A = this chain, B = another copy of it.
Amino acid sequence: MKKPLLLAAVAALALPLSALAQTAPDVAALRDAALKDEVAWDVVEGLTTEVGQRLAATEAEARARDWGVKKLTALGFQNVHIETYRMPVWVRGAETAEVVGPSAQKLTIAALGNSGSTGPKGVEAEIVYFPTMADLAAAPAERVKGKIAFVSHSMTATQDGSHYGAFGAARRAGPNVAATKGAVAILIRSIGTDYHRNPHTGVTNWAKGVTPIAAAALSLPDAEQLERLLKRGPVRLRLLVTPEFKGEAESGNVIGDVPGSDPAAGIVLVGGHLDSWDLGTGAIDDAAGIAITTAAAKAVMAAGQPRRTIRVVWFGAEEVGGFGGAAYAKAHTGERHVFASESDSGADRVWKFETNLPVGAAPIADRLAIALAPLGIARGRGEAHGGTDVGPILQTGVAGIDLSQSALRYFDYHHTPDDTLDKIDPAQLRQNVAAWTTLLTIVANAPEDIAGVPPHGE
């Protein structure tokens, strides 16, 4: 039988207050000091200015790794090093789209990651329109064959960002479906929520044996323009999209530790991803995530040695297929990770947290709820599931907590040229650092054993 809610609430309030008092560092003091943090801004400003875009496995991402080693070393992290791996490289080429005929006009597009090429001469074909991904999936091949498929959707801005998962299939899977049905190319309405002429790129995936076709996103104004033109009659488009697959090259993760006093207590893994798409400077995606987690780990470091080792990883090659997270998990199977969490939804304020902790470590969540409440953060109803980078570690049965950032603005800028430093609000960035400092202080110093959980993850 369930406990009555009131009793449960009283129990939750009673327990952690005493437990909080036992915790060595003063969580509240560290949390509040972090609201004046300058480290995160320094990292995000420096990386986005001095390196700029950092497409996976390119020279720019390598420069970013060197930048990271210098920065983590200067901040006092230990065992700072790069771990490399090889991966396929895709780079953007020319990309233009032009309506032909009596309403001749250019449309703004951006190739999706892993898009195929039209070849240097481009293609010209009629548009076949699908209001949703389901419509494309249901269409007979003869409707699609030889045409340029155009897939729309109805994504809106949501605080939990859930529409990205729900409506993102047009980008992730649409091109493969269109190619299978014989389309010469595919355009999608950007998986985004803003009305600027900056299309949202992002990775698409091809099934084995499917030859990639040209696949690009239209900005929302362009997608709606095309819909208006299609209401007036058939539309032919001339499309030039010439990205290239460049074979394999080196990418890597940048790693730094705050060594703990009790190696047997296991590693607390946090981070974000260092690579970015090539269009913006990757400020909210994801210089912010590495800046926030690094600043929080630094704050805990400065307060005295934690019980558990805190490891910060600046993952490489997340955008293009999660190569950094996979490489890390493979390379570190011998170590005892007890906790993993990542920051990869921008720099707007954290508003909820969710956990996936073993029963014995449940008091950690109760202490966290009390310590995060002054930051305007409440416990959500779901379970933590991590993200692309810590997913492979979580899937081995490691515990985790998600600090969820407001995504209301995130998909206005995500994967566009507009992902630049000015989109970061320093006050909200600091709230993130305070939340992560709170989390790391509590988790890294928790007296409880953090045992494994049933394998879980994205």
A interface, CB within 8 angstroms of B? 45, 48-53, 60, 63, 99, 102-106, 108, 195-198, 220-221, 224-225, 228-229, 232, 280-281, 416-418, 420-423
Contacts and interface: CB of A to CB of B under 8 A. Distances in A.
Nearest to A198: B197
Nearest to A422: B195
Q: State how many copies of this chain the complex holds.
A: 2
Contact of A221 (B63, B105, B195, B422): B422
B52 A105 contact: yes
Contacts of A420: 195, 197, 221, 225
Nearest to A103: B50
Contacts of A198: 196-198
Given A45-B228, A105-B52, A197 B280 contact: yes
Pairs A-B, 3 closest by C-beta atoms: A52-B105, A197-B417, A221-B420
B225 A281 contact: yes
A49 B220 contact: no
Contacts of A416: 197
Contacts of A280: 197
B196 A103 contact: no
Contact of A196 (B52, B229, B418): B418
Contact of A51 (B48, B53, B103): B103
Given A221-B418, A225-B49, A229-B49, A196 B195 contact: no
B196 A49 contact: no
Contacts of A221: 418, 420-422
B417 A105 contact: no
A422 B103 contact: no
Contacts of A104: 52, 60
A211 to B, nearest CB: 30
A110 to B, nearest CB: 12
Given A52-B105, A198-B198, A224-B421, 13 more contacts: A45-B228, A49-B229, A49-B232, A50-B102, A53-B106, A195-B422, A196-B196, A196-B198, A196-B418, A197-B280, A221-B418, A221-B422, A225-B420
Contact of A108 (B196, B225, B417): B417
A106 to B, nearest CB: 8
Nearest to A283: B221
A51 B232 CA distance: 13
Contacts of A421: 221, 224-225, 228
A199 to B, nearest CB: 11
A103 B49 contact: yes
Contact of A224 (B51, B102, B197, B422): B422
A228 B108 contact: no
B418 A52 contact: no
Given A49-B228, A108-B417, A229-B49, A195 B103 contact: no
Contact of A50 (B48, B51, B232): B232
Contacts of A224: 421-422
Contacts of A197: 198, 280, 416-418, 420
